Structure 1
Amino acid sequence: MGARHKQARDPRAHWLFLALTLPVLFGALLFQGWTENEVDGSTTKQSCTQPVPRSAAGAGPVLSVDGDRVRSAAMPAGTVALTYDGGPDPYWTPRLLTLLKKHRAHATFFLSGADAARYPALVRQIRGEGHEIGSRSYTGADLGNASGVRRALELRLTQGAFAGADGFRTRLLRMPMTTTVATLCAAEWPAVQRASAHGYLVVAADRSGREPSDGLVRQFSQTSLAYRETEGLLADRSAHRFTTISEGLGADASAMTDVAAPDRWAGTALIWFQWLGRGFVSTLTWVLTLAAALGLIRLFVLALFARAHVRRLERQRPGAPWLREIRDPVTVLVPAYNEEAGIGTTLHSLLASTHEQLQIIVIDDGSSDRTVEIANEYAEQDPRVQVVCQPNAGKAAALNHGLAYARCPYIVMVDADTVFEPDAVQRLIQPLAHPAVGAVSGNTKVGNRTRLLGRWQHLEYVFGFNLDRRMFEVLECMPTVPGAIGAFRIDALMGVGGLSEDTLAEDTDLTMALWRAGWRVVYEENAVAWTEVPTSLRQLWRQRYRWCYGTLQAMWKHRAAVREVGHAGRFGRRGLTYLLLFQVLLPLLAPVIDVFMLYSALFTGNPVKSVATWLGFLTVQLVVAAYALRLDGERRRPLWSLPFQLLVYRQLMYLVVLQSVVAFVTGSRLKWQRMHRSGTAAAAAQHIGGPHDRRSLTVTR
């Protein structure tokens, strides 16, 4: 239809927002995965294929390597250097510190940079109580087999974490997953050489069997076993003393030095960034679990209510008020703007209707093609067709213009690309025999479904829209009577002032207004009309962007319904809540969840779990989709395309919702995005198998 709303902001800003958000999100997840040693890292020590060089075979536990030259040192006789790997640990580190303080002993803690960034207060406590701190890399990955980039980051980020935690850097390094010098073999030795070239002293442990009287470097992890062994050592201090690595070596200066303010700031930023990353991943885990649960509950509820809808029809239809068949004249409004490709087939299908008492009004909304000429040809051949024209003003204005010419108590609104089944009008108006029913939604089917994009939309119409409509009718909260096929009481329409031009989803806006005015809205699944859906992703995006944006406008306009009573209150608390939860909030989270699932599948240690979860969810959707196709009398053959719909089409719809919300929140106003029509719906519908008679859909004029 024609343009009515002007664009107030450049939509490219929304694209820029989307283009930046997901890469940043994925980058944050990737860093967190790297921090957890899940990306480009190894947590398993590989077996040695060659021993350490001969020059290091008898070296002491403290090494400095310059090329092939190895300098080493050991603790002096009677001295034991207690060293603890890993942490800081919120449970064992404070207990070890208390134990050491009790015996007035000092030790060297080789800390993980990631844990130091996570518990900076413990780093300050360790240093504040006179202990020494060394680096055990950032994540504890095997530095000998890690990439060069990872090795550099492991050491640099650890120094950054120390700088942010307490403003220092350290020269001491313990290679992860090593004990004695002999374990620094194979690929580990070149890593030791590179670390020494950057000024590190590499600290191993003395081999087992060496006595404290000879001088000893003891290595512990921060565990209950380490605590008990330390307690046993400290209980007997008569033969030896306990000290740090630096003190044991008699170093003139501490291995820890203060850093400048810029390094502290950078370290603080690292700590905050890691804190945000952990919180983000933790939140995403809960959100993913909740979203998956809600998605499964929704599928179960849709299937449950669809069955309840079928049983209700089986039970109520024989005694329903609309068993009295309506034969009254019906006015059909056909708004048209540049619809020369489809207006002829639409009018032909209406004139072939089994409900012959029709007043068909074609409202031309300022078309610049042959729409008026084609419609006038039908008007000349059949007096039931009437053509009225107006300057381009939009679909809502065109329908209101047509209402002024209506002479019948019942109104059917039709899109100019829609092809009706012969009995569609007759079936559509029957529920209006009930005095409380103000509007009826028909069953819109996709005609041009031969290509993949059309099949995806066909599944969406049947699996999504129609299952929702069945549930909405049972819960009495139908939010939309589609513009392609809908019936109304004329007094209900006039009672709400006709169609509003406040939103781009005039059909949703009108339906919500009817609920708030006290009318019921129902679904007639047997009133079938065929429509032409977009054939390109660009057309689909523009159409769904308008739909979603208009729905947001209508939801905001009618938000007060949640506080009202009667039909309006039921609609507001059920319908608006459902739309907000499943058509706004969950789609907003869906791209984030998909990125997290992709991250879990590719970069975590358990991709099978992620893939199995996705396949399980897909299986449930296939079952429910098959049931929906059965209810609609459709073949199950298109189900093969559902997995690809989840991977491609569904992501596009999520991004549409995201851009629509951004545009709505920022106050952008959109123009009507008209889809280019090719007039293929009728021709395609003839070749689709099913229960409906399509002999009257022949394209003629």
Structure 2
Amino acid sequence: MQFQVFHDPTGRRGRHVRRLGLGLLLILVGALGLFVRTITALEPRPAPLLSPVQAGVQTRAVPVVRPTSTESAGPWLPAAAGPTAPPAALAAAETLGFYMPWDEASRRSLRAHVGALRWVAAGMVSVRGREHRWIEAEDPALRDIMATSPGTGLLLMIQNDSETGWDGVNMARLLASPARRRLLLDRVAAAMQRHGAAGVLFDLENLPVSAHAHYRTLLGEARVRLGAARGGAPTPVMLAAPVADPSWDLGAYARAADRVVLMAYDEHWQSGAPGPIASQAWYARVVAQAVARTGAGRAIVAVGSYAFDWAEGQPLADSITVPEAWARAARAGSRPQFDPASGNTGLAYVEAGRRREIWLLDALSAWNQLHALRALRPAGVALWRLGSEDPGFWPVLAAARAGTGAPLAALRRLPAEAGIELRGSGEILRLTAPPESGTRSVVLDAAGLIRAARYDRLSHGHLVERRGNAPRQVALTFDDGPDPHWTPQILDVLARHGVPATFFVTGIHVLDQPALVRRIVAQGSELANHSTTHANLDRLPDAAVELEINATQRLVESYTGRSMHLFRAPYLGDADPDTAAELRVAQIAARLGYLTVGLNVDPLDWATTDARTIAARTIAQVESGTPGQARRIILLHDAGGDRSATLAALPVIIRELRARGYQFVPVSTLAGLSRDQAMPLLPATAEAGADRHGLLFDSLRIGRQALGWLFTAAIALGLGRVLLLTALALWQTRRVARGRHRAPAPPHLVPRFVSVLIPAFNEARVIEASVRRALATQGVRVEIIVIDDGSTDRTSAIVREAFGHDPRVTLLTLENGGKARALNHGLAIAKGDVIVALDADTRFEPDTIMKLTEWFADPAIGAVAGNAKIGNRVNWLTRWQAIEYTTAQALERRALEALGAVTVVPGAVGAWRRAALDAVGGYPADTLAEDQDLTIAVQRAGWRVACEPAAIAWTEAPETLRALFRQRYRWAFGTLQCLWKHAAVIARGQPRGLAWFGLPQAWLFQIALGLLAPVIDLALVLGLLDAAVSTLNHGWGVMAQDLTRMVALWLALALVECACGWLAYRIDGREGRLPVLRLLAMRFGYRQLLYAVVVHAVAAALHGITVRWGAQQRSGAFSVGLQAAPLADSPVAPPIVALPVAVEAAGTESPAAPVPEPVRVAA
């Protein structure tokens, strides 16, 4: 029994291969697990302590000055109320909240409490200046928040505020003009429609007395105009009015508008002297008077919840939120004090030698004020403003409307703030404490009013220490490196000037440049963490942020033996964060032991190519620093693009700042740390682990580099092969055109009788057409021997029925034993000196066999390869194969012929000298690619192989992916068998064409690159992903060079393929125009399928399994019109009598068994 090449009947090799594969898989999984553990297993550690607060801004508490104004004296409840007001008087009152789109805290408050409000007055519009400019805010979040509370209506608030205050004069001019009022209301109506507002609230302040009549006219016009604009739907028109300004006729305004919002605060205002903002007695008196003038049904009373911070010598107090007032008290070491005389809360402190005094309206004053409103029963209650309030306001409001007592539990608890409290000055941040709640004590009197209270412990948000505002010291920092081109040059400049710097490195660059990282440390500069991939960490989940930080830490530890404690997040370098969201990444870094390094000096060197601009911006920003606004840390970049301008600006920056008295120090010095504290040496117990990690990272780096080299090499080899094969094919085509490829054939030496062998297994769909086309041959006589290799369909019956009358056709029926065995049985009874073997799905042109036969006039020719083409171009898959047959297989065969290195005479169309077949023992049965095996064997026996492109055969290609995969798998496995079987050709160097080119190029391009193709594609995909991420993170300029090179390589290969494909189509002459887009599309999917079959074939060879041809899927759906020839014109061979042939069973010969005669179809 003859086994296939690679077949292992014992199965031992397959078991060894499986064990080896399992072992390699376990090693890979183990290495991956070790890598994951390496970059994730970092224990939390404390960040280094910062140096004590430098001299600069100092704060301390001082006693608050008690107010002596008579305005604060008097009863705390309206006179008519007495001690027992109705408890549920505010149950039906509408609630309104003032919302400011420019304030994130206002947005958070609205999101949390929109369900408790009937109306939201949004400050979306300002009308400013002499030209009455319309300034409208955009707030996409507002509509989303409002959609969550269908019962809450939106009021568009129109204000006349400007950069310098309330612009009453210019607003009065507008109000006096009917035309301008109409234009204003047109704009208001349009804005209401854009924002989905149900009404409008005018907040026009500082108006001269003469403007009030016109203002009331506007309100009346608005009620008519805006109601009509909304199709008659209820459209409330409201205004905000001061509660105690005698110039405002509140009764007249109440008649002009639907509601008057009484701003019941500003007893002491922003530009006046410090004092209670709305003392309880003052509030009870002025609100009662105002409600009496407007009527309770038209009045909405606005309760304030905010603070003013007055400073000596400062014309305007700071308007701040209640939580910010608490934070300033904490920084001063003070606590707010409830004033029992006014019912307001105040405190005083000294900052930078200047006395400051804060008064605030908190939840304590809000409870007393709402309690006073019970007797007045106004139409509504408003809050000025969302985002500045004491969090206790909301339970107070709910209790006041429900008519219950004071919510003591809520009043006593101060919820932890979501904001940030910055302490100290500088650009180096250390998170010292998370948000923490506080407490206060409350004492009620018999009437339910708060008469005494004490702040026991203040709540706070995130506490952040800032350091680094050292006088006349600056630190150079470089982000995004190290870069092999720019970082060494920057280090050279620093070394020449004796300046240290801090390099915020990214792990992906550290991995590629370990030597540069070591040089930075050796030169005396510092390393700091800048993430691994320079991703926007704010968009990543916490685990991914930790991974980004830890991976870079491990890399630096492995390459330098030092750890890092300084960190700067990409895109989050703000030294003055405003919101807790901005601190999330810093919090994660703090848990991992890092100080966050911000910056306030950013010359935007990445965005300019002018070195003078970079230097000028840097110097100007450093010089503009103040005790409260540190500008000591300079941000530059040593990677991420062209840094020539940064490199040129660096010496200028160093010289100029030194000349102005500045000293250059590393960031650690600004933080009050030593270099070894910022970059501590690893303990001895961790050094061995760092070395192991270093080996792992080195392996990863080498692997990445190898992928890059493989990708480049594959592109280069592919380009070289395509160009070389095309050039050789062109040269061979010209030789053919000039008749130099062979000597003229003497007619008497050209064989005139040919035996055509057609092996068939279940080919009922196509066998008749194949035989008819062969019988239509012109120029030579043919005998047709159909070898039915054990078909289970009607293959034999069709041959008998269709050709029983034709003496040229012989049918040989066998048990299934394989294609090679079937051909050898046919060869045994063939009479011709030239044998043509064709597949049953192939159809010849009338002159195909004649053109093949002409070559055999040369006695050195042992075989001739024809030109196979796809006949069933019925879908995209078969059209791709048609392109491949023309641009790859046919072109390659022409080129190989020029070198005497043809590796395969295709089974679809090829002719063989009978003597050559006999010399090599006929068709080999130990490989699947018997045609390729035979081609190589014939050449090893001393015969030449030629190509005849004009000998056309049309074959049926697989029409499904599954069928194509099975076909190409057999081809790839057979090719591998042949290359292995004939490996001695290369070793011996004979035949020269096969030894020097034909077989080596098959090993390299068909097998080696086929195996490496998935890796190369992976390198391309990873490269594109890396480029996409880097472009997303850095912008196009960062990756432009790499992307341009990658795209240029791909385009070069694509252009060369298109050019060579065009030449292949021109050489062929029968295919028309090259379908360029279809050719390019083959790179995506089709090529990957061809690579997959190579991997599958190699795996099968290693396992030692036997691969069989199996049944082919035929449709017979030819879409190409074939040239016809009259059957009568074909020479007719004499009747052929077949010799008896033994039938093989189960792969063995049985000569003693009864031998059936082969069937001669002719009657």
Is the pair's TM-score, using the shorter chain for normalization, greater than 0.5? yes
Gaps of at least 5 residues in structure 2 are 40-101, 106-323, 325-418, 436-460, 602-621, 639-646, 1032-1039, 1129-1161
- AA aligned to 2:1001 is Y
SS in 1 for 2:938: helix
**Equivalents in 2 of 1:624, 1:116: separation in Å?**
42
| TM value normalised by structure 2 | 0.50
Query: Residue 660 of structure 1: which of 1088, 1094, 1097 is its match?
Result: 1097
Give the SS at the match of 2:1085.
helix
Cα gap change, 1:186 to 1:614, in 2 (>3 Å) = farther
Cα offset for 1:536? 1.4
* Equivalent residue number for residue 671 of structure 1: 1107
* Alpha-carbon spacing, 1:629–1:211, altered in 2? closer, same or farther (3 Å): closer
Distance 1:559 1:542 in 2: 26
> Based on CA coordinates, which of the two structures has the bigger radius of gyration?
2
- The code of the aligned residue for 1:513 comes to A
Quick check: 1:336–1:365 contact (8 Å CA) kept in 2?
A: yes
Match of 1:410 among 823, 826, 834: 834
In structure 2, relative to structure 1, the CA distance for the partners of 1:268 and 1:420 (3 Å cut) is: same
Instruction: Give the counterpart letter for 1:672 in structure 2.
Output: R
Residue aligned with 1:334, SS: strand
Q: Distance in 2 between matches of 1:110 and 1:602?
A: 24
Whole-angstrom distance in 1 between the partners of 2:469 and 2:726: 77
TM-score scaled by length of structure 1: 0.78
Correspondence for 1:629 among 1058, 1065, 1077: 1065
Q: What's the CA shift for 1:385?
A: 2.0
| Shift, 1:614, TM fit | 3.8
Deviation at 1:49, TM superposition (A): 11
Structure 2 residue 1116 is matched with structure 1 residue 688:
no
Deviates more, 1:583-592 or 1:197-206: 197-206
Within the candidate set 283, 288, 303, 2:711 is matched to 288
Q: Name the CA distance, whole Å, in 1 between partners of 2:792 and 2:504.
A: 78
CA contact (8 A) 2:732 2:895 kept: yes
Structure 2 counterpart SS, 1:416: coil
- 2:1053 is aligned, of 612, 617, 640, to 617
- 1:333 is aligned to 757
* Structure 2 counterparts to residues 246-395 of structure 1, below 5 A: 249=672, 254=677, 271-316=694-739, 320-324=743-747, 326-355=750-779, 357-377=781-801, 380-395=804-819
Q: Matches of 1:582 and 1:509 in 2, distance apart?
A: 18
Does the 8 A contact of 1:330 with 1:359 survive in 2?
yes
Q: Distance in 2 between matches of 1:240 and 1:426?
A: 93
Aligned residue number for residue 152 of structure 1:
546
Partner SS for 1:646: coil
1:70 aligns with 2:463: yes
Partner of 1:484, secondary structure, is: coil
**Alignment map for 1:464-475 (pairs within 5 Å):** 464-475=888-899
Partner of 1:43: none
Structure 1 270/649 Cα, relative in aligned 2: closer, same or farther at 3 Å? Answer: same
Aligned residues: 661
The aligned amino acid for 1:154 is E
**How many percent identity over aligned positions?**
35
Q: Cα distance 1:80–1:446, how it changes in 2: closer, same or farther (>3 A)?
A: same
654-663 or 422-431, which moves further after superposition?
654-663
How far 1:272 moved relative to its partner?
Answer: 4.3
Query: Do the aligned partners of residues 565 and 145 (structure 1) sit closer, same or farther apart at CA in structure 2, a change above 3 Å counting?
Result: closer
Q: Secondary structure at the match of 2:738?
A: helix
2:529 maps to 1:135: yes
Query: 1:461 maps to what in 2?
Result: 885
Task: Kindly provide the amino acid, as one letter, of the partner of residue 294 in structure 1.
Answer: L
In the alignment, does 2:1084 pair up with 1:647?
yes
Trace 1:106-125 onto structure 2 (pairs within 5 A).
Answer: 111-117=505-511
Say whether residues 1:552 and 2:1007 are aligned partners.
Answer: no
Deviation, 1:652, is 0.6
Distance in 2 between residues matched to 1:173 and 1:573, nearest whole Å: 59
Q: 1:315 & 1:74 partners in 2: Cα distance?
A: 87
Partner of 2:1018: 595
**Kept after mapping to 2: 8 A contact 1:365/1:390:** yes
Counterpart residue number, 1:201 = 595
Cα distance change of structure 1 residues 107 and 580 upon mapping to structure 2, 3 Å threshold: closer
- Structure-2 separation of matches of 1:496 and 1:564: 19
Counterpart in 2 of 1:504?
Answer: 928
Q: Alignment RMSD, CA only?
A: 4.8
**Cα deviation, residue 554, structure 1:** 0.9
CA 1:274/1:145 → structure 2, altered by over 3 Å: closer, same or farther? same
State the SS of the aligned residue for 2:792. Answer: coil
- 2:908 matches 1:484: yes
CA pair 49-647 structure 1, distance change in 2 beyond 3 A:
farther
Contact 1:332 1:411 in 2 (8 A): yes
Alignment partners' CA distance in 2, 1:99 and 1:149: 42
- 1:576 and 1:514 map into 2 onto residues whose CA distance is 15
Name structure 1 gaps, 5 residues minimum.
35-47
Q: Structure 1 residues 49 and 316 mapped into 2: Cα distance closer, same or farther (>3 Å)? A: farther
CA distance in 1, matches of 2:1026, 2:468: 42
- Residue in 2 aligned with 1:493? 917
Please list the CA deviations of residues 636-691 of structure 1 after superposition, one character each: whole Å capped at 9, or x if unmatched.
37555323322121211121122223333x243332133424351xx51xx5257x
**Cα distance change on mapping 1:234 and 1:141 into 2, 3 Å:** farther
Once the 2 structures are TM-superposed, how far is the Cα of residue 436 of structure 1 from its aligned partner? 0.9
Could you list the per-position Cα deviations for residues 488-546 of structure 1 after superposition, in whole angstroms to 9, with x for gaps in the alignment? Answer: 11111111121222211111011101111111111112222222221211111111111
Conserved 8 A contact 1:355-1:423: yes
Following superposition, the deviation at residue 106 of structure 1 comes to: 8.9
User: What residue in structure 1 maps to residue 861 of structure 2?
Assistant: 437
Instruction: Return closer, same or farther for 1:549/1:206 CA change in 2, 3 Å cut-off.
Output: closer
* Residue 328 of structure 1, CA deviation: 2.7
In structure 2, the CA distance between the partners of 1:491 and 1:75, relative to structure 1 (3 Å rule), is: closer
**Distance apart, 1:482 and its partner CA:** 1.1
Letter in 1 for 2:1084: L
Structure 2 distance, partners of 1:319, 1:584, is 33
Question: Structure 1 residues 167 and 249 mapped into 2: Cα distance closer, same or farther (>3 Å)?
Answer: same
1:377-405, Cα deviation, whole Å (9 max, x unpaired)? 45632222223343332211222222221
| Distance (Å, rounded) in 1 between the aligned partners of 2:513 and 2:846 | 73
The structure whose RCO (Cα within 8 Å, separation 6+) is larger is 1
